[in-house]
Amino acid sequence: MDPTSLERLRRKVEAGEPLNDAELEVLRTAAQNTPGPTLRLAVAHALVNAGAEREALRLLEVLRRDFPQDVQVRLGLARALLGLERPGDAEAVLREALVLNPGDPEAQKVLAVLALRRGEHGRAREYVADVLRRDPFDEEARLLEAELEAADVPPPPAPQVRALRPEFTAALLAALHRAGVACRRQGKDLLVKLASGEVGRVDVASLYVAYRDGSQDLDTYVRGMVTRLRSLSGLAVDTGSLETRLRPVLRPGGFETQAAGALHRPGPAGLAVFYVLEDAEFVHYLPGDSLEPAGLSAEAVDALAWRNLEAHPAPVRPVVLDEGQVVLAETFSGLWAVAGGDGYDGARLLTAEQRGRLVLHAGEVPLRVHLGWREFTLVCRESDVPACEALARLGGAPDGIPGLFRLEGGTLTAL
C-alpha cells in the first residue's frame, strides 16, 4: 500500500472514525510487514473505534510485552480497558505511563477524569494544574479546569435497589391475586385468565428484565402490570389481526403439555410448530378452539403465519463464543447469529428470505444449527469442524431447544 493511503487510514483512526472491513485488513497487513509498534497500535485503536475492545486488549497486551518502554502502548491499553469498564486496571496502566514519561499530559488528563468521576476533585485539580503548567493552551485541560471550578456537584443519588427475581415474582403474584386476577405459575411462565375467558401465557423472565433495566420501583412496576393484565381483552382472533400479528414458532416435542389447547402441528426434526400473536411482552399462543368463530382453518392459519414471518427476516451477525457467552464480532468469524431477538429466529430458518440472507454470509452449503436460545439462532458451516465442536459444547437457556440440527436446502433435520 502506498504511504499516502496508509497515512490516510492512520489519520482516520486517530480521528476516532471506524474503518470498514477492507480498510482494517489493509492496516493489519501493513502492520504485520512493518517493524515497530506504530501500525500495530493503530490496528488496536481501530478495533476500539469499532467497539471490539476485547480483541484490541489482546493485541495491546502483546505490544506491552514486546515494547515495555513505549508510552503510547500504555495509553492505548488504558483506552481499551476503559472501553471494557475496567477503570481500576486502566488507572494502574496510566500510572505506569507516568513512570515511563513523568508529566505525560495525556495520561494525566485521563487520570483527572477518573478522579473526577470518583468525586476526588482535589486530585483531579492536581493533574490538571500540572498539565496547564507545562502547556497553558491545552484545550482539554482547560475544559477540565472549568468543570472543576463550576458549582459544587451534588452527590450522586443512592443507587436504586432492585428486587431479586424471586421477590419480583412473589410480588407480582400477590398483586394479581389481590386484584382478583386468576393466575398460576407453570414452569417459568405465568398463566393468566384474560377478560375474554381465554388463558394468556406471560414470560416472567422478560417482565423481570424490563423491571430490572427500568427506572420504576417494584410496587409501581407491579401495579402497572396488574392494570395491563386486568384490562387485556384476550386474543381477539379475527382475520384483520392475523394479517399482521400472527407468527409461527418452533418448540420442542411435548411442548403441547405446557401450552394446553394451543394450535400446533408437527414440524421438522421432531419439533412442533405453534402459532403466536406478536406482542412485545406477552406470549399469546393461538387457541385451537378460536379458529371456528373466526372462520379459519388450521391450514389457513399456517399459511398466514409463514407469510407474515417471510416478510420480516432478521439480520445475520458474525459472532464469537467468549467463555460460554455469545458476543458480536467485528469481522468474519465462521459463526453467525440470526438475531431478530423476538423469539421467531428458529422458524425463520425455514423461510426463503432468511435462507437467502444466510447464503450471502455462509454460502450455499449445509449448516449446523443451534437453537438453545429464543433470542437468536446460531449457525456455522457444517464443514467448519472447530465451529461445529464449539456449538456442540455450548449450552442454552432453559426455554431453548436442546441439541444440534442440520439445515440444507430449506430442510431442518436433527443430528
Query: Domain range spanning residue 120?
Result: 3-149
Query: In the chain, what percentage of residues exceed pLDDT 90?
Result: 40
Least confident of 27-36, 198-207, 263-272: 198-207
- Give me the number of domains the chain comprises: 3
Q: What is the largest CA-CA distance in the chain?
A: 83
Question: What pLDDT sits at residue 151?
Answer: 39
Same domain for 297 and 339:
no
Distance CA 193, CA 362 (A): 45
Residues in the chain: 415
Is 157 within a domain?
no
CB 140 within 8 A of CB 171: no
The model's pLDDT over 199-252, given as tens digits with 9 standing for 90+, comes to 667 777 778 878 887 888 888 888 888 877 765 544 444 556 666 788 999 999
Distance of CA 355 to the CA centre of its chain: 22
pTM of the full predicted structure? 0.51
Same domain for 277 and 378:
no
Same domain for 370 and 233:
no
Distance CA 301, CA 275 (A): 8
Is 159 within a domain?
no
Last residue of a domain, one of 259, 282, 309: 309
Same domain for 356 and 321:
yes
Residues in Cβ contact with 155 at an 8 Å cutoff, skipping those fewer than 6 apart: 119
The model's pLDDT over 288-335, given as tens digits with 9 standing for 90+, comes to 877 777 778 889 889 999 999 999 999 999 999 887 788 888 778 899
Task: Scan for cell 440440527, then name that residue.
Answer: 405
CB 285 within 8 A of CB 359: no
Q: Which three cell numbers mark 393? A: 459444547
Is 380 within a domain?
yes
